[in-house]
Amino acid sequence: MISLDWSIIPAIIVFILTAVALNYLLFRPVTGVQREREQRTTGLISKTQKDLAHQLHLFDQYQATIKTARMEGYRIVEKARAGALAERGRTLDQARKNAEQLLEETRETIRNQVSDARSRLDLEAQEIARLISAAILHRFA
């Protein structure tokens, strides 16, 4: 059995003083270092997560901007293409009209030339007929 005598009191005092001394000299600094380390790691992780969220947000904005710019580029190209097609159509119509006008002018010129040629042929035919008639009449006369 344990006997209690007065020598236990200094042992309790030494134990309490040792516990207080260890608390101030060892446990509190170690606990403070652990707390600081925890804050730094947890704080760093939290900061990293915030930074990552911010970077993802910026990336989404970047992709949205690129998509908008690409769509705008497609719209501009399509507008230019439509304008070029319309200009091509107008140019083809104008060329067709010019060709038709030139063809009509050429036909009219040919009609006039044919008409003139017929008139000259009629006159020449009449002249030849007159000469033949005169030649025939001179022989029989």
Residue type at position 104: E
Neighbours of 128 (CB within 10 A): 11
Residue linked to tokens 């044919």: 114
Per-residue model confidence (pLDDT) at position 2: 66
- Amino acid 141: pLDDT: 58
Identify the pLDDT of residue 140.
Answer: 66
Whole-number Å distance between alpha carbons of 38 and 45: 10
Mean pLDDT of 81-97: 96
* pLDDT for residue 133: 87
The dihedrals phi and psi of 29, each to the nearest 5 degrees, come to -60, -40
Its pTM stands at 0.47
Q: pLDDT tens digits, residue range 34-57?
A: 988 888 888 788 888 999 999 999
Write down the pLDDT at residue 109: 96
State residue 52's pLDDT score.
Answer: 95
Task: Note the pLDDT of residue 42.
Answer: 82
pLDDT band at 8 (very low <50, low <70, confident <90, very high): confident
